[in-house]
Every structure is written in C-alpha cells, then in structure tokens.
Amino acid sequence: MISSFFQHLLSLLLLSTFFFYLSTASTVKRPSNNSISALFVFGDSTVDPGNNNNLRTMVKSNFPPYGKDFVDHKPTGRFTNGRLATDFVASYAGIKDYVPAYLDPTLSTEELKTGVSFASANSGYDPLTPRLSNVISLPKQLEYFGELKERLEAAMGKQKTDEIVKKAVYLVSAGTNDFIVNYYALPIRSTIYTMPQYQQFLLQNTKQFIQGLVNQGARRIVVIGLPPMGCLPIVITLNSGTINRNCIDSELTVANDYNQMLQKELQAMQSQLAHQNVAIYYVDIYTPMMDMIRNPQKYGFEQSNIGCCGTGLLEETIMCNPRSTVCSDASKYVFWDSVHPTEKGYYLIFESLRPVVDSIIKS
C-alpha cells in the first residue's frame, strides 16, 4: 500500500517535470499569421544575454554556475541558470530560439535582422546608473540600434531594412537598478530628489527613450514595469537580515506607485503617437511575481525569498561564482541569485508577455 502510493507520487512528479520542460522547450510552436520580423531588446540584466561580457566592468555572469541549465551548461552572460523571458518570447513568436547579445563579435547578418539585445546589466533610465559600473546606457543602446540599421542597409538595402524595422517588436526592461542601487543602496540620488521627484525624473527619461525608438522607426514597443523590488532577496537581506525574510513594504509601495504612473504616461504617449501608427504596450510583471513569491507552492516552488546560488541572501555576479554552492534543483526556486529569477521564473514572466505577443501578431 505504502509502496504503491510512493510509486504513484513519483510518477506524478516525473510527469509534472516532463510537462514543464515540454512547455518551456525552445521548439515552442510559432503562432499562425505571425507578423513580427524581429525582436530588439533594450534594458538591464533582466534582458542582457551577454553584452557585458565585452565591457570593462565587474558586472558579468559569463562563468559558472550561471548558465547551469542552458544549452551545454554554457554560461553566456545571462544572469540566470538558463533562458530569459525574451528568449521565450522570440521562440514563441517563431523568430529564433535565443536572443543574442549585440556586442557578440560573431553575429551574422541573419542574426542581426531577426533581432538582438542591446541590454546591459546594471543599466537604467537614470544616466548616472550605468556610469556607476561602466555599463551601456540606454541612449548608447539606442545608438547601437542605429548602427545595426546601417549594417543591415549595407547588407540588404534600405527598403528591406525599413520593412524589418517597421514589423519588429521593441522590448524595454529597466528601472530597478535606478531605485535599488542609485537611490537606496549608495545612496546618491536621494540627496538630490525626494522619491516622488525621482520617480518623475525617471518617467521623463523613459518617455525620452521611447520617443527615441519611435524616431528610429519603432512602431510596436513593449515596456516592462518594475518587479516587486521589496521582495528581492538582496533587498530583504540588506533591510531586515537573514532571520525575518519578509518583503520590504516601503519598496513595494514605490514600485507599485511607479508602475501606475508609468502606465498613465504610456497611455498618454500612445494617444499622442497614434497618428504615426505607434502602439505602446505596458506589461505588468509585478503582479505575477508577487503571486510566485507569496504562493510559491502554486507554481511548484519551495523557496521564494532566497536565491539558488550560495546562501541566496546576497550573492550575485562575481559573488555567485564557480566556488559557490548551488541548490540541486533551480526549478524549486523563484530566484537564481539574490536578484534575478530562475529560468522557470522567467518562463512564468513570459506567460505575462504572451497575451501582448498574441495581440501584436493579430494586429
């Protein structure tokens, strides 16, 4: 009787694991009537597949145990154990299995024309944020996109390049470093701005960046909101230590308020740019991440307030390294290190992006 029960339980566990990896496989079927030519990505470590590998900065992840569950267990520079949400988006849209880093010197014209990521870990909307760790600012990322267009025009002509640019999707994910590093941790901006003033400052920079994308030809722009910053393991550790592992309410409020303001600003921009056939989409990742963190068992997680790497309390980038201890099953953790989600966490974030991708495909 007991043996039969455990055999049945083991079968269920194996089936659930099989279906999870089946659903997240890179061979996700391309939706019909796809009208997306490419995926171009801008932002920070949440969408950086390895641009920082080619920079003189300490903010890198091109070493184990990063990439532990990626193809061939290869550390690519992605700040997780496997794929990012943008990899799942590209695969789902039938564009490519993985979004490469623009600064990868081996990229072919085929890779360039179907999309790359210009994102750089530790970057942000505040121009001071990327300077703190010598990474790529958002304006520089936009310059790189202009450079990419020139390379495509030289290879395939202006008409084909313009068609790719027009039908591409542009995804932007940034802002967390501005608050966590620039305002709270150091703190630098807090001596100049009140929190409401800083939020408005970032919103203005965000709008300026989006307008820059439009000026470069972007017509379908996806903007990712802030995550629940107060629940990141590193934020919990720095504010309340290692025993009381509750989320920090004040930082949750800041993120939630900012997201609401961001939505309103994007709606206003959408109205102003409608005559140019520009569509701006806001994606809420705060809500699904909060649900993962507060109801981990619902998604098969066992840990939601520490990372898989090391103690899970403070480790990220060089502190999560080949000498670090690593949990045996990253799919049981919401977070890979003290800041970034696991591949499974990113897949669930992708699920929040999927309706937007479907909407763009049908438009």
Catalytic residues: 45, 337, 340
Residue 284 neighbours by CB under 8 Å, 6+ apart: 225, 259, 352
Euclidean distance between CA atoms 174 and 129, whole angstroms? 11
167 C-beta neighbours (distance < 10 Å), count: 15
Reduce the DSSP state of residue 242 to 3 states and report it: coil
> Which spans in the chain are helix H?
2-23, 85-92, 109-114, 128-131, 138-156, 158-167, 176-177, 195-215, 233-240, 249-273, 286-294, 343-362
Residue 246 neighbours by CB under 8 Å, 6+ apart: 236, 240, 305
Contact criterion met (CB below 8 Å) for 198 and 125: no
Euclidean distance between CA atoms 313 and 293, whole angstroms? 15
Instruction: Report the length, in residues, of the chain.
Output: 363
